[in-house]
Amino acid sequence: MAYTIGLDYGTNSVRCLIVDTATGEELGTAVYEYETGEVGIILDPQDHNLARQNPADYLKGIEITVKEAVEQARNVKRFDPAKIVGIGVDTTGSTPLPVDKNGIPLGLLDEFKNNPNAMAWLWKDHTGYEEAAKITEQAAKDRPQYLAKCGGTYSSEWFFSKIWHCLKADPKVFDAAFTWVEHSDWIPAVLTGTDKPKDLKRDRCAAGHKAMFNDDWGGYPDAEFLSKLDPKLGSLRKSLSDTTQAVDKAAGNLTAEWATKLGLTAGIPVAMGAFDAHLGAVGSGIKEGVLVKIIGTSTCDMVVAPTSAKLPDIPGICGIVDSSILPGFYGLEAGQSAVGDIFNWFVNYIQAGGKEAGSHQSLTQKAEKLKPGQSGLLALDWNNGNRTILVDQRLTGMLLGQTLHTRPEEIYRALVEATAFGALTIINRFQEYGVRIDEVVNCGGISEKNAMLMQIYADVTGREMKVSRSAQTCALGAAICGTVVAGKKAGGHDNFAEAQKAMCGIKSVSFKPIPANQKVYTELYKLYKQLHDAFGIAGHSGVLSNVMKDLLAIKEGVNG
Amino acid sequence: MAYTIGLDYGTNSVRCLIVDTATGEELGTAVYEYETGEVGIILDPQDHNLARQNPADYLKGIEITVKEAVEQARNVKRFDPAKIVGIGVDTTGSTPLPVDKNGIPLGLLDEFKNNPNAMAWLWKDHTGYEEAAKITEQAAKDRPQYLAKCGGTYSSEWFFSKIWHCLKADPKVFDAAFTWVEHSDWIPAVLTGTDKPKDLKRDRCAAGHKAMFNDDWGGYPDAEFLSKLDPKLGSLRKSLSDTTQAVDKAAGNLTAEWATKLGLTAGIPVAMGAFDAHLGAVGSGIKEGVLVKIIGTSTCDMVVAPTSAKLPDIPGICGIVDSSILPGFYGLEAGQSAVGDIFNWFVNYIQAGGKEAGSHQSLTQKAEKLKPGQSGLLALDWNNGNRTILVDQRLTGMLLGQTLHTRPEEIYRALVEATAFGALTIINRFQEYGVRIDEVVNCGGISEKNAMLMQIYADVTGREMKVSRSAQTCALGAAICGTVVAGKKAGGHDNFAEAQKAMCGIKSVSFKPIPANQKVYTELYKLYKQLHDAFGIAGHSGVLSNVMKDLLAIKEGVNG
C-alpha cells in the first residue's frame, strides 16, 4: 500500500490530493483559495490586461492543503502518511516570477511587496501584447524555426512577452531580478531546496511550450536573438539553463524542513512540475489517439503523438514539445482562451448579478429545452481573444441574430454553442495535419456539471464526449508523476502507461451525437466559420450578407 | 377663442388632445390603453412576425379619451366644448382592416371575433415578408415606377403584403372582406358616418406611402399587375377608390350620434386622417429644410421638399408622396424599425426583468459617464430589421467587441450609439440625393427624457438636436389638421403655415455636438458602415478583419 500527493495550482486556488497508487482512489483532498486580490488575482481597474498573483499565497497553500488532506485521508484506516512515496506538482502557466540571486521571488521582499510587477505574472496577464507582436515579428524575420513550434505566433500570455514588458514598464523590478522562474519550477524547487538559481531545474513543459525551448537549437532562444529585442533580455539568457527535464524526473527530494512542516517523510522524491492542463491530460488517461479537453474558465485541448513519427508544424497549435505531457511523445497543446469565463461573464455581469432567475442553473434549464438553430443566434467565443487556431488575444466577442424577442437563455445557449464551434475548429486543425483523434475525454468542472454543454459538444463535433472519472484530473496527474518518480519498488510505478492503467478511468455516462442536431449544427458551423475567418484572419475578404438570412432560414426550418 | 381636437392612435394606446387654436396651449389630454392582447397587441407565440389589434379598442378609445380630455379642459375657465371647431386623426400604419360590404371590420363580427386575421394588421406585423419580396420582384419586372417611389423595395409592413398574406393564410377572411381600409381612414369615416365602402375616402398619406398610390399612374396599382400576384387581388382593386385626399380636406362632418356621445357640436369637420409620424412632423413645425425625428419604440424621419422642384427617386427612402405631410410639398418618409424597442428589449429581457440595477434610469446614469469609444463595443441597430436605407426586415441585431469585462451599461450605450449611427445613415442618404436638411427637430418621449441619447445623436450626426415644445406632437399635428379643415372664419386657420406658426414651438434646451466626441464617432461610424454594408447589402464583399482591432485601438486611445 502506497500513496502519492498531487499539488494542483489553479487560477484561484491550490488543491492537494492524496491518491492510492494501486487503484487511483482519492483519499483526501483540500483546497486553499489564494487570499490576495480579487478571488486570488491582483487586478488593475485601469488596465484589463493585468493579472498577477502573490507568491506568498502559493507557499501558504502548500502547508494548509497538505495538512488538511492528510487529516482527511486518516479517515481511511489503512492510510499512513509515512506511506506517501512521492509528490507531483502542476501549476498554471506561463506564470513567471522574478527572483533575486538567492531565488527569492521579488514580491516576497519588503522592497517590492506592494508592486504587482514583482509578483507572479499569471497566465492570463496580457499586458505584454505589444511585446508579443514584436517577438513574433522579429522571430519571423530571424528565427522562423522558433515560431514554427508554437503555432506561428508568440503569445502575450507567454514567458518572454511578460518579462520584456516588465523590462519596459518597470525597469527597477527587471533589474532587481536575477532570473525569472515559472511557477511550475518554483514549487518543486522550494519543496526540495533547489530554488537557488544555481540548483534550479527548468521543466520541459513550461520551457518548451511558452519559452521557445527546443533541443534542436540548443535550448532557449539564443542571446543574439534576445538582444535584438533588448540587450538586457540577451543578458538574461545566461541565467536560463541549457537543459530541461520532463515529469518522469525528480526535481529533488523533500527537505527535512518541509517534511516536518507537512508531516511527511523527508527525502521522498518531488517530480518536476508541469502545467495543470498537461497533467490534467495525464490524469485523464491521455495516450495516442485520445484528445483530452480540460474545460474550465478556459479550455486546454491536449493530444500526444509518438516522437518516432515526425510531425509537421501545425499553424495555430500553441506548442508541439517533445515529452511535455508524456515522456517519449510530442505533447500538443491547443485551447480556447475563455469558455466558462464567458458563461460566468454573462451570468454575473450581464444577467444582473446572477440572481435566481439569471443563474447558470436556471438559464441551463431553459436553454436545454431549445433546439439547435431555434434562437437564430450565432456567437463568436472570443471574449478573451482566441488562443487556437488564430493565436490572437486582440480579438473580441460577437453576438449576431438578436431580435426584440431574443431571451437570455437563447444567448446563454448561443455562447455555449460558440465554444463548441471553437472546440470543433481545434479538432479539425489537428486532423488536417494528420494528428489522430479517435476518442475525446473531457475533464474539469463544467464537463461534470453541465450535461447540456456536453451534449452540444457531442452534436457539434459529431463525436462521443466521454468524461474522466476523477473530478480532479490535474491533481491526479500530478500525483501520478509522484508515483513515477518514486518507482515501482517504492510502491509507485515505473512508467506512465502502468500508472495511468492503475489510477485513471472514465465515467460510465457519456454523450453521443444526436444525428438531427448534428445536421443543424453542420449548417451553423459553416456560418460560424464564415464569421471566424472574416473577423479573425487578417485581410480575409468575402461575402457575409448571407449570414443573417441563413440563420433566419435555419430558425424557421427548426420551428416549422 | 376656439379649440381643436387631435386623436392620436399609437401602437399601444390612443390619446386625445384639446388645443387652443390661437396659441397651441394644450388644455386637456387623455389616454386609453388598448385592452386586447399584450399591451394592446395580439401576438402569436409561434410566430414572432404576427401583430394585430382589435378594432373594438379603437372605438372604445374615442369615447373614453374625448370625454376625459374635455372634462380636464373644463379646468380652464374660458374653455367651452361648444367652441371645439374641428377634429383631426392620426394612426399607426400601414394598419389595414378587412371590412364587410357595410364597412364593418370583420373582427367586430361574431363570426370572426376570435380570429387575429380578421383584426387590424398592425404596422409591425411582418407575416407578409414572403409576399413583400414577391411584390418587389414582380414590380421590378413589370412596374419599376411603383418601386422607385418607395425606395426600391416593397415592405412586409405595407398594405398589399398584408392583404395578400391574409389571402394565402386565411382565405375565408379574405373572401369575407369587401375591401380593406387603413386605420387612418376608418376612424374619420366612422366619426363622420362615411364608413360605408361607397362613401369612404382614402387618405393620401397611407395610400401614397404604403399602397403605391400615385396620380402619375392613375392611383393604386392597376388590376393587371395585382392579378399577376393573385387574381383575387386584381378583383380587390375595384374596391379601392381612384382618388385620395390630403389632410387639408375633411373626411366629412361629425355625426349627431357621435356628437351626442362625445358632448361635442354635431357637424364640425373631421379632417382626413394621416399616419402618426406625418402629423407628428406637422406638430413639430416641419417645413422645407427641417428634418423631424419622431423617436419612440421606432423612429420616423420626416422631410418635406417643394413639389415645384422635381426630386430624384431616392433608394431606401420608404416613400416620396405628394402632399402626404404638408399639402404642396412632397412628403419624404424614412425611419428605423426599432429604437426605444431595442433599449426596452435589453432592459426588460436581457437585464433580468429591468429590476432596480438594470433599469433605464440606472443604466443611463452609468452609461452617460462613459466616453465615446471607451467600451470597445459596436452594435447594429437591426433587432427589428432595417427600414431605411436597407429596407430589409430580415436583418437582425449584432453586438461586437465584448470582452470578459464588458458591463451592461456599456452594452446599453452601444445600443444607443447604434441607433445614432442608423440615424446618421438616413441623413446622409437624404443629402446625397439633394434633399436639404438645415435643422433637426426631435419629438417623442425618448427625445424629451433621455438627454444622453440626444447628446450622442448630436455628437454622431454633427448637428444640433432641437426638441419640439409639445410632448404630444402627433396629437398636436392632428389637432392642427382639425383647425385647417375648420378654417379661419370658424376660429381655425386657413393653411398649415399659419397654424404651425401659431401652435408649434421648440424647447429652449437643445443639444450641440461636442467636437472631441464627434471626432471619435467619426471613426466609429466608419466601422459601423463597414458592418452595415457587409451584413446588409446582398453580395457586398470586403475585409472586416480590421474591425475588432480598430475598436480596441480607439478604446485604448480614449483610455490612454
pLDDT above 90: percentage of residues in chain A: 91
3-state secondary structure B279-328: HHHHHCCCCCCEEEEEECCCEEEEEEEECCCCCCCCCCCCEEEECCCCCC
Q: Please name the helix (run of DSSP H) or strand (run of DSSP E) that holds residue B269, with its range, or none.
A: strand B269-271
Average pLDDT score over residue span A99-122:
98
- From A345, which residue of chain B is nearest by alpha-carbon distance? B404
Widest distance between CA atoms in chain B: 72
- What is the DSSP-derived secondary structure letter of residue A41? B
pLDDT band with cut points at 50, 70 and 90 for residue A316: confident
The domains located in chain A, with CATH, are 3-277+473-503 (3.30.420.40), 287-467+514-560 (3.30.420.40)
Average pLDDT score over residue span A181-188:
98
Q: Please name the helix (run of DSSP H) or strand (run of DSSP E) that holds residue A329, with its range, or none.
A: strand A329-336
Question: Cβ A402–B406 below 8 Å, yes or no?
Answer: no
Q: Which residues pair with A386 in a beta bridge?
A: A392
Contact B201, B185 (CB under 8 A): yes
| Grid coordinates given for A193 | 531546496
Q: Backbone phi, then psi, for A547, in 5-degree steps?
A: -60, -50
Contact B209, B333 (CB under 8 A): yes
Question: Cβ A545–B535 below 8 Å, yes or no?
Answer: yes
**Span of A296-300, A459-463, B283-287, B504-508 with lowest mean pLDDT:** A296-300
Give the dihedral of Cα atoms A178, A184, A185, A190; nearest 10 deg: 100
Q: Are strands A439-443 and A465-467 parallel, antiparallel or unpaired?
A: parallel
Question: Which of A338, A353, A548 comes nearest B395 by C-beta?
Answer: A548
Residues in chain A: 560
Contact B40, B105 (CB under 8 A): no
Supply the angle between the helices A55-73 and A183-192 in degrees, to the nearest 10. 60
User: Can you say whether residue A511 is alpha, beta or left, with left for phi > 0 and alpha for psi between -120 and 50 degrees?
Assistant: beta
User: Can you say whether residue B352 is alpha, beta or left, with left for phi > 0 and alpha for psi between -120 and 50 degrees?
Assistant: left
Among all chains, which residue has been given the C-alpha cell 443543424? A520
Q: CA angle, corner A33, sides to A28 and A35, nearest 5?
A: 145
Residues A254-294: tens digit of each pLDDT: 999 999 999 999 999 999 999 999 999 999 999 999 999 99
Q: Please name the helix (run of DSSP H) or strand (run of DSSP E) that holds residue B465, with its range, or none.
A: strand B465-467
pLDDT at A6: 98
How far apart CA B128 and CA B162 sit, in angstroms, is 5
Q: How far is the alpha carbon of B440 from chain A, nearest alpha carbon, in Å? A: 28
Q: How far, in whole angstroms, is CA B231 from its chain's centroid?
A: 31
Alpha helices in A177-319 (DSSP H): 183-192, 204-210, 223-229, 231-236, 256-262, 276-283
B321: number of Cβ within 10 Å: 26
How far apart CA A75 and CA B259 sit, in angstroms, is 92
Q: Is B43 on the interface with A (CB under 8 A)?
A: no
Convert B169-187 to b/e letters by CB count within 10 Å (16 or more is b): ebeebbebbbbbbbbbbbb
Q: How far is the alpha carbon of A506 from chain B, nearest alpha carbon, in Å? A: 32
pLDDT at A354: 46
Beta strands per DSSP E along A81-213: 84-91, 96-99, 120-121, 179-182
- From A403, which residue of chain B is nearest by alpha-carbon distance? B383
Average pLDDT score over residue span A204-212:
96
| Grid coordinates given for B180 | 380593406
Exposed, middle or buried, B436 (CB in 10 Å: 0-12/13-18/19+)?
middle
The ipTM value here is 0.86
pTM to 2 decimal places: 0.87
Q: Is A451 on the interface with B (CB under 8 A)?
A: no
Question: Which of A352, A383, A536 comes nearest B404 by C-beta?
Answer: A383
Average pLDDT score over residue span A55-81:
98
The tens-digit pLDDT sequence of chain B (560 residues) is: 999 999 999 999 999 999 999 999 999 999 999 999 999 999 999 998 999 999 999 999 999 999 999 999 999 999 999 999 999 999 999 999 999 999 999 999 999 999 999 999 999 999 999 999 999 999 999 999 999 888 788 999 999 999 999 999 999 999 999 999 999 999 999 999 999 999 999 999 999 999 999 999 999 999 999 999 999 999 999 999 999 999 999 999 999 999 999 999 999 999 999 999 999 999 999 999 999 999 988 999 999 999 988 888 888 887 789 999 999 999 999 999 999 999 999 998 888 654 566 789 999 999 999 999 999 999 999 999 999 999 888 999 999 999 999 999 999 999 999 999 999 999 999 999 999 999 999 998 899 999 999 999 999 999 999 999 999 999 999 999 999 999 999 999 999 999 999 999 999 999 999 999 999 999 999 999 999 999 999 999 999 999 999 999 999 999 87
Question: Cβ B535–A544 below 8 Å, yes or no?
Answer: yes
Average pLDDT score over chain A: 95
Residues A213-243: tens digit of each pLDDT: 999 999 999 999 999 999 999 999 999 999 9
Contact A79, A20 (CB under 8 A): no
Question: Which of A396, A551, A552 comes nearest B403 by C-beta?
Answer: A396
3-state helix, strand, coil in chain B (%, to 5): 45, 20, 35
Residue A358 clears pLDDT 90, i.e. is over it: no
Q: How far is the alpha carbon of A139 from chain B, nearest alpha carbon, in Å? A: 22
- From A374, which residue of chain B is nearest by alpha-carbon distance? B46
| Grid coordinates given for B364 | 443611463
Question: Which of A396, A401, A403 comes nearest B400 by C-beta?
Answer: A396
Q: Is A384 on the interface with B (CB under 8 A)?
A: yes
How far apart CA A11 and CA A40 sit, in angstroms, is 8
Nearest by Cα to A293 from A102, A140, A115, A423: A423
- From B538, which residue of chain A is nearest by alpha-carbon distance? A545
| Grid coordinates given for B47 | 410566430
Convert A357-388 to b/e letters by CB count within 10 Å (16 or more is b): ebebebbbeebbebebbbbbbbbbbbbbbbbb
Residues A532-553: tens digit of each pLDDT: 999 999 999 999 999 999 999 9
> A125 contacts in B (CB within 8 Å)?
none
Dihedral (CA of A321, A324, A327, A332) sign: negative
B107: amino acid identity, one letter = G
- From B393, which residue of chain A is nearest by alpha-carbon distance? A549
Question: Cβ A547–B535 below 8 Å, yes or no?
Answer: yes
User: Can you say whether residue A106 is alpha, beta or left, with left for phi > 0 and alpha for psi between -120 and 50 degrees?
Assistant: alpha
Contact B401, B376 (CB under 8 A): yes
Q: Is A560 on the interface with B (CB under 8 A)?
A: no
Question: Which of A357, A540, A551 comes nearest B353 by C-beta?
Answer: A357
Residues A320-352: tens digit of each pLDDT: 899 999 999 999 999 999 999 999 999 988 886
pLDDT band with cut points at 50, 70 and 90 for residue A315: confident
Question: Which of A341, A353, A551 comes nearest B404 by C-beta?
Answer: A341
Dihedral (CA of A266, A267, A268, A270) sign: positive
The set of residues, in sequence order, having a beta carbon less than 8 Å from that of B148 and lying 6+ positions away, is B313
> A338 contacts in B (CB within 8 Å)?
404
**Span of A356-360, A514-518, B366-370, B487-491 with lowest mean pLDDT:** A356-360
Contact A184, A206 (CB under 8 A): yes
DSSP, residue by residue, A428-486? HHHHHTT----EEEEESHHHHH-HHHHHHHHHHHTS-EEEBS-S-HHHHHHHHHHHHHH
Cα Rg of chain A (Å, integer): 23
B25: number of Cβ within 10 Å: 12
- What is the DSSP-derived secondary structure letter of residue A309? S
Q: Within the 81-140 window of chain A, which residues sit less than 8 Å (CB to CB) from chain B?
A: none
Q: How far is the alpha carbon of A409 from chain B, nearest alpha carbon, in Å? A: 9
pLDDT at B475: 97
Contact A106, A177 (CB under 8 A): yes
Cα Rg of chain B (Å, integer): 23
Omega before B389 cis (within 30°)?
A: yes
* End-to-end C-alpha distance for chain B, whole angstroms: 62
